[in-house]
Structure 1
């Protein structure tokens, strides 16, 4: 059952991206280039595709919300697996795993369509 409004999801997207971008310095792994670049790439990527998503906080409104949610889910799985795939799990893995799983959870719990000005949702 989906319960998260797209507007809330959108606000979280930008905060999530910024938070992920800051994790190398907040959690002390900025000296590990693979871990740092992975966090930066996924954080910046999320901000960029959020900016082109067709929801209340999107700037260009080109990317349909269902496709945005698929990207969130796939990217979240990839981010969660990245420490093990890219070989930095011995140094750091929790931020990548937790941010990744959060992205998957958000993708599964967000409405597929934004609310219309009338207060109703577009049919999915």
Structure 2
């Protein structure tokens, strides 16, 4: 999840809430895919700050729960959890909990990284 802002890539976002992350905080944004004009609502809740271990190592991460629901386009609902490591600035783990469509990746874990300045 990146900070809400004006245009970003091929998605237009309208956000309520957002960063900085802290446990208990929630945010909601409406996203429209420019290529398809599909529009959905994405709601996020920061559940906890915890240690998460993935193949790339152990990181202090925010555990964030996401719910997604279509507003315009094919009907769908999905939920997932990510673990966002502030020290890296990226999610290190994602797990899809449920989805009414079978598109996309069911999850990932960071397998390797090189700290800035060590490349």
- What TM-score results when the alignment is normalised by the length of structure 1? 0.29
Larger strand proportion, structure 1 or 2?
Answer: 2
- What TM-score results when the alignment is normalised by the length of structure 2? 0.30
Larger helix proportion, structure 1 or 2?
Answer: 1
